[in-house]
Structure 1
Amino acid sequence: MTALILENARIFDGSNEECAEGMSVLINGESIEEISDKPITSQSARRMDLAGRTLMPGLIDLHIHAYASSVNLQRVATSGHTYNAAHAARMLGHALDCGFTTVRDIGGGDWSLATSIEDGLIRGPRFFYAGRIVSMTGGHGDFRPMHVSRHDEGICQCGESNVFSVLADGVDECLKATREELRQGAHCIKIMGSGGVASPADPIWMNQYREDEIRAIVGECIERRTYVSSHCHGAEAIRRSVDYGVRVIEHGTLMDAETAAHVAKKGAYVVPTMAVIFALMEEGERLGLPAVSMEKLRSVFSSALSGMEHMRDAGVKLGFGTDLLGETYIRQTQEFTIRREVFEPVEILRQATSGSAEILMREGELGCIADGAAADLIVVDGDPLKDIGLLAASGEKLDLIIRRGEIVKDRLSN
């Protein structure tokens, strides 16, 4: 791979609001080798003049479901793995074109999909996956309609697992399920800590899993030097999850001020997912979201933005996620404009870069521009610190995208 020098760059490094002007960056292989305010000498490197454009770390989406080929998850279960994998390829390619050089599949993604990306069979971002979500029977990971019994065919494998989750009840089953997902390369383990929108049999307000079950899963992950992430909407579910050792809360939609302060004190993280809520409110019925799910969706929609306001006021550490299902994947960058209702552009940029890298336990490697960091970079035509909408244009304002040191989009050389 030929070395590459990016010249005359205005750098947002993933953290600092002040951007250095007139900078040069040397990429050698998959890493950043040198950053300088003076021209970098090289006889063999390719040179690209950014002409003052903003160079920043590649974006990170911490909450995707690559195999979610429909908003109706029962339909996903019967679509077949080939169909779902085809959707994943389309979705991941779109994410890369939007500037997302890293994603975390937090339910369903597996070793096979990760290897397909690594080997170049599928065009996509770096791919972290949590494997199948660990859920209690009747929890948010149990998508069987209420009339379906344990051994009805066509919905799941005897009620024990589906595309996105595995059902486990009691400490021993939870330990076995956790160990199996970690054995298959899961980056972390996700549990269902509350009711959810897409599942038919559990109210949003329902707390899920007992303390001993959650602590057992957390303990197993600590032994593997990783962490537990918990799907939670309600405030009580959030509090008990972090009290029992969960490191990351997914959604946190019904967060109140007291709970936000508690989460911040505990040092836990939250990954809000606004894009999916707004997308399904607008398109859910048309796309086949069941009526029971639409009803639950409406119950959380009105509190979504105020929940993020409580997180902001309490100083909760936040990541960036979208959670888009089916055809709504094309709305991935709308998360930026929705968050703009609550946060300043620099806060959102940190959430989508260095903050998310910290959640991935990859700080200093991803989500930053620094010596020795990964060469995952995007070039923005304009200043996203003033106009976050530049990142909300589905890649239209990105002139260059680099993943692992390889140029995957180039409008500067044309």
Structure 2
Amino acid sequence: MVAAGTVRQVVRNASVFDSAAGCMRPGSTIVIEGDRIAAVTQEPLQVDDAARVIDAGGRAVLPGLIDAHVHVVAASHDLVGLAMQPASLVTAQSSTILREMLHRGFTTVRDAAGADHGLRSAVERGIFEGPRLFIAGAPISQTGGHADMRPQGVKSREMFCSCAGLGLIGAIADGVGEVRRAVREQVRQGANQIKIMAGGGISSPTDPLEGTQFSMDELRAAVEEAEAANLYALAHAYSPRAVTRAVQAGVRSIEHGNLIDEATARVMKSHGAYLVPTLSTYAALADEGTRLGWSPAMLDKLQMVKDRGLDAVRIARAEGVPVVFGTDLLGHMHGRQPGEFGLRTAAMPPAEALQSATIVAARLMRQEGRIGQLVAGAWADLLVVDGDPMQSLAMLADPAQGIRLLMQGGRVVRDSLVA
């Protein structure tokens, strides 16, 4: 029975991407009731007169895409300057970033620090048009860690203050007690996952890229607090040592991980960890870092990692580590988000790259059966696209042309199919 007032839609003549199997199911029909998928079948189906029928014309139909490493508040590459902006302005700028992500086909994103529950609620209520938003709140950083953006010479811990909790400046915590408190605060603020800075970074001014951050006791405390709230921890880390320590402490995913080696990947595999490479941000910064005023030290760190990203993907795949789609773009560089597919297909086939942005991302986020799949019970998020995604993902690299219909939660966001 369909509940009174529930809209029924039927997508017929569809070649459905089975993200779990990594193959196409031609001649399929998708039945949508309200905001959920009711059925997906290759059997003949009688369509009632009340249903809205969408004829895919034999085209590929994909689950809505997932980007598992975004910063929707990063309206500028200048993270210190961003932290000085009023929360109202950051929010206004984020609304544009969210809308553009959705229109590229990303119906769900995992924000890897910066967004708050207010932005998530704005999307849920339809105030902002954007992807379904999973937030981390403030990243947890040690003094002098990757999210401690204070310039050298500044001693006060209160240089930055955003009462709304927006921005990429970290929650600075030293010692097990402070780390526990910082994680608990993110939980209190509605985080879906906890971000830990476990190693050095490119954009931070004072930490060595290959260094480790936090003691093992501190890392374990952060993971314990996340798990106590039925959440999980993700860790920013590049070097084999930083990645290994974070995984041994229990983090669920490694963000970036460009410098991993085979031994590190084996540790990740043994602990069930995921890798979330973010190749497009290094390509973007290599093109624009100097023009954007990045310091020589930051550009040197960028050079260390930008050519190792594909190697990390190949190593992870060879060792059986699940690889997830992420981008980590800032400011005007958000427009490069679809280019991540082209970078990844140099190291994996198109079907696997598409899985990394659908089912594998959903599994990482503990959302299997809800997002990243076209199955009964999942959110009705789907893309009708031109071309064969088993051969090429060019249609996703040019979403304005390649995506012919975009649906999120049963709502048609845009439609250029011929009636």
TM above 0.5, yes or no, is yes
Cα distance in 2 for partners of 1:131, 1:14 equals 30
The amino acid of 1:196's aligned partner reads G
Conserved? CA contact 1:132–1:164, under 8 Å:
yes
The amino acid of 2:115's aligned partner reads G
Partner SS for 2:50: coil
Distance 1:43 1:151, change over 3 A: closer
* Equivalenced residues, count: 412
Cα distance in 2 for partners of 1:104, 1:225 equals 17
Structure 1, gaps ≥5 residues long: none
Distance 1:227 1:151, change over 3 A: closer
Shift of 1:182: 0.5
1:18-62 Cα shifts (integer Å, max 9, x gaps):
311111111001111122221342121100111100011000001
TM norm structure 2: 0.95
Q: Equivalent residue for 1:235?
A: 240
Distance 1:406 1:34, change over 3 A: same
Shift of 1:152: 7.2
Determine whether 1:265 maps to 2:252.
no
Determine whether 1:143 maps to 2:149.
yes
Q: Equivalent residue for 2:58?
A: 52
The amino acid of 1:266's aligned partner reads H
Cα distance in 2 for partners of 1:128, 1:140 equals 22
Cα distance in 2 for partners of 1:76, 1:181 equals 20
Shift of 1:292: 2.6
Cα distance in 1 for partners of 2:157, 2:224 equals 32
Which shows bigger deviation, 286-295 or 182-191?
Answer: 286-295
Q: Equivalent residue for 1:408?
A: 413
Q: Equivalent residue for 1:324?
A: 329
Shift of 1:289: 2.9
Distance 1:143 1:405, change over 3 A: same
Determine whether 1:281 maps to 2:306.
no
Determine whether 1:246 maps to 2:244.
no
The amino acid of 1:412's aligned partner reads L
Structure 2, gaps ≥5 residues long: 1-5
Which shows bigger deviation, 215-224 or 346-355?
Answer: 215-224
The amino acid of 1:100's aligned partner reads F
Q: Equivalent residue for 2:79?
A: 73
Partner SS for 1:350: helix
Q: Equivalent residue for 1:361?
A: 366
Cα distance in 1 for partners of 2:197, 2:23 equals 40
Partner SS for 1:310: helix
Which shows bigger deviation, 125-134 or 35-44?
Answer: 35-44
Distance 1:8 1:185, change over 3 A: same
Q: Equivalent residue for 1:380?
A: 385
Distance 1:151 1:241, change over 3 A: closer
Determine whether 1:224 maps to 2:224.
no
Distance 1:25 1:179, change over 3 A: same
Matches within 5 A, 1:325-364: 325-364=330-369
Conserved? CA contact 2:116–2:166, under 8 Å:
no
Cα distance in 2 for partners of 1:371, 1:96 equals 22
Conserved? CA contact 2:114–2:166, under 8 Å:
no
Determine whether 1:127 maps to 2:133.
yes
What RMSD, in angstroms, separates the aligned Cα atoms of the two structures? 1.7
Cα distance in 2 for partners of 1:312, 1:202 equals 29
Cα distance in 2 for partners of 1:291, 1:80 equals 29
Shift of 1:157: 7.2
Cα distance in 2 for partners of 1:363, 1:151 equals 40
Cα distance in 2 for partners of 1:223, 1:186 equals 13
Partner SS for 1:318: coil
Conserved? CA contact 1:71–1:284, under 8 Å:
no
Structure 1 vs Structure 2: percent identity of aligned residues?
39
Partner SS for 1:12: strand
1:3 pairs, out of 8, 14, 21, with 8
Cα distance in 2 for partners of 1:80, 1:325 equals 18
Cα distance in 1 for partners of 2:100, 2:167 equals 25
Conserved? CA contact 2:254–2:275, under 8 Å:
yes
Shift of 1:15: 2.2
Shift of 1:79: 2.6
Cα distance in 1 for partners of 2:400, 2:365 equals 24
Distance 1:196 1:163, change over 3 A: closer
Distance 1:2 1:91, change over 3 A: same
1:369-388 Cα shifts (integer Å, max 9, x gaps):
11111111111111111112
Cα distance in 2 for partners of 1:195, 1:298 equals 14
Conserved? CA contact 1:133–1:191, under 8 Å:
yes
Conserved? CA contact 1:7–1:50, under 8 Å:
yes
Q: Equivalent residue for 1:111?
A: 117
Shift of 1:112: 0.7
